[in-house]
Structure 1
Amino acid sequence: MSTEVVKDDQLAKMIVSSSPHMFADVSISKIMWTVVIALLPAVIFAVYYFGMPALQTLAVGSLSAVVFEAITQKILKKKITVTDGSAFLCGLLLAMCLPPAVPFFVPIVGSFIAIVVAKHSMGGLGYNIFNPAHIGRAALMVSWPVLMTTWTKVTTPIDTVTSATPLNILKLQGYDALINTYGSQAGLYKSLFLGLRNGCIGETCVILLVLGGLFLIYKRYIDWVMPVAMIGTVGILTWLFGTNGFLTGDPIFHMMAGGLILGAFFMATDMVTTPITRKGKIIFAVSAGALTVLIRLVGGYPEGVCYSILLMNCVTPLIDRFVQPMQYGRSEVKP
């Protein structure tokens, strides 16, 4: 029996890990900061449109998430990894799901829940079951429903205008009132597409969010089937079940309204809390889209993206269990 000496540099290349076995010039840090870059155009527009309160909310949400991450890892005696961008991105996404003029303590509490409760209580990055940013938002909705549903736009340094979001108008007053508010259907579409409307910080300008999402698809950090399946499902179902009867809905409005674009491109595509396989991703996205429509049209809330994604996060392990790729070297046995 011969014995071979393995050099240190050869030993360093021997990596034992669970499947899938893939090597690429990508890291967690690179992915996280690239997603932040993809969100920057929508963030800049939101600050321009909503003013300094939006900048304050975004800054407080992002920075507090980083601080809570460092403190938690320090207490748990883990390596501090705040530079990887995951905490910053979580806080940024949470802040983008908030009204622009909320008090400063709201994003701080939300970041605490997202980072400490939803992320590190489950083991940290890669072990969390639910999307942390949406858990934070859901907790804030339960705790301060009035603050979370008060929409203001700063017009001057001392003046603000309070009005409802398009989905709120549709829910409370109907589709005709919605069209009258924006002058025409074309005016409504223009306001949604360009972001000239009230809403959360990160849900206003559709075109910039879509461009950011397309950039991530180009970089192959997200699978295009998820946003397409989720947004497409919302469009089809809202067209089928319109407010004036069957096949009378406005799918274009529903696909651009609320936080659907932000959720479909940047939340539903989370690598940790969504299925692994493409078939599983499609099941997840279609189901999340259907739940969004159900909540919007039948439920008490005007918006349902946050809750639909969280509900589907619950069944992600089940989807992964029953939707598995065929094992290499085996073929399906037919009776």
Structure 2
Amino acid sequence: MENKAYDNLIVSSAPHFVSEVDTSRIMGAVLLALVPAFLVSTYVFGFRVITLTLVCVVACVAFEYLFNKLTHKKQTISDLSAVLTGVLLAFNVPSNLSYIIAIIGCFVAIVIVKCLFGGLGQNVANPAITARIVLLVSFTTQMTTWPLPRSIQTADAVTGPTPLGILAEGGGAMPSNTDIMLGFIGGSIGEVSAIALLLGGLFLIWRGIISPITPVCFIATVGVFALAAGQDPIFHIVAGGVMLGAFFMATDYATTPILPLGKVIFGIGCGVLTMVIRLFGSYPEGVSFAILLMNILTPHINNFCENRMYGGGKK
């Protein structure tokens, strides 16, 4: 005979804490935090920022829907994680990138990096970062042809190097740090305005969506490394993808450490690797490679921090 009193004894898998904050709300907050940078990029590069971002979002959602449909899995597109992946991937490419190449990147991010590893929370690397690196290696010319801001385009020049590219080549007119912070430079869609990204990052910290530990350690390490190398620390912090990576990539729940010490190690590691690649590598920018390498090390960082906190099973 059924006894309703025993219904309260049914135990389900973790988490057991009931909260109004769920995956879709978190993803929605991150998308909202990206709006300032999106608006600046649209102003700087024009309408194609909107169309390319929409193509990436639609492709990512479609790939996740089709994968779940074909594998008879529960649909997960409503959690907005595929939407966020599409936006972040668009933010990591030039605004003039071919739509076909962008869709290939979306396939890599959603199907290969995310879904084949079990879906959200099971992927070992950030999908957008990994897809960006795959596109960079596979379509180097297209991924390194940077549109100039509309305000400085001329009949003879509509594309040009990024500030980090100018630094790596050792010549050319370098934009001021103010121009870089405001976004009046060439580069990827999501890296042109350090101030807009900073506002979005501070919003996420204020809402409690991300911890400030990793972004602070990442940015501070870049600044200290640049200072030790005799270069302008402000330039290295605001140029390139440091702000985008620190606040929106290196804080991914699934691919970054859990404990505070792990977040410190992760942030410092990202900063060091970024600067090593920038100053000594063949690529002028190292943020994506740095975050991916630290994603790979995340399980080991977690094990180290857990053993340090709880003990390593010593007899």
Residue 12 of structure 2 corresponds to residue 16 of structure 1: yes
Map 1:207-286 onto structure 2 (within 5 A).
207-241=195-229, 248-286=230-268
Q: How does 1:1-335 map to 2 (within 5 A)?
A: 5-7=3-5, 10=8, 14-18=10-14, 22-153=17-148, 155=150, 161-174=158-171, 177=172, 180-182=173-175, 188-241=176-229, 248-324=230-306, 326-327=309-310
* Count of residues paired in the alignment: 312
SS at match of 2:191: coil
> 2-side partners of 1:281 and 1:326: how far apart?
14
Query: Displacement, 1:139?
Result: 0.5
DSSP-derived class of the 1:77 partner = coil
8 Å CA contact retained: 1:56, 1:104: no
Task: Kindly indicate whether the alpha-carbon contact (under 8 Å) linking 1:130 and 1:273 is maintained by their aligned counterparts in 2.
Answer: yes
* Structure 1 gap segments, 5+ residues each: 183-187, 242-247
Q: Tell me, in whole angstroms, the C-alpha distance in 2 between the residues paired with 1:181 and 1:215.
A: 31
Percentage identity across paired residues of the two chains: 44
Report the AA paired with residue 181 of structure 1. M
Q: Tell me the SS of whatever aligns to 2:158.
A: strand
Larger radius of gyration: 1
TM value normalised by structure 2: 0.93
What residue in structure 2 maps to residue 185 of structure 1? none
Structure-1 separation of matches of 2:168 and 2:149:
24
Amino acid at match of 1:306: S
Q: Which has the higher helix share?
A: 2
RMSD (CA atoms): 2.5
Bigger RCO of structures 1 and 2 (CA < 8 A, at least 6 apart): 2
* CA distance in structure 2 between the aligned counterparts of 1:15 and 1:191, rounded to whole angstroms: 57
Q: Which deviations, in whole Å up to 9, do the C-alpha atoms of 1:294-329 show, x marking residues without a partner?
A: 0000000000000000001111001111101745xx
Gaps of 5+ in 2: none
Kindly tell me: are residues 255 and 15 of structure 1, through their superposed partners in 2, closer, same or farther at Cα, counting changes over 3 Å?
Answer: farther
Deviations 1:240-260 (A, max 9, x none): 01xxxxxx2110000001000
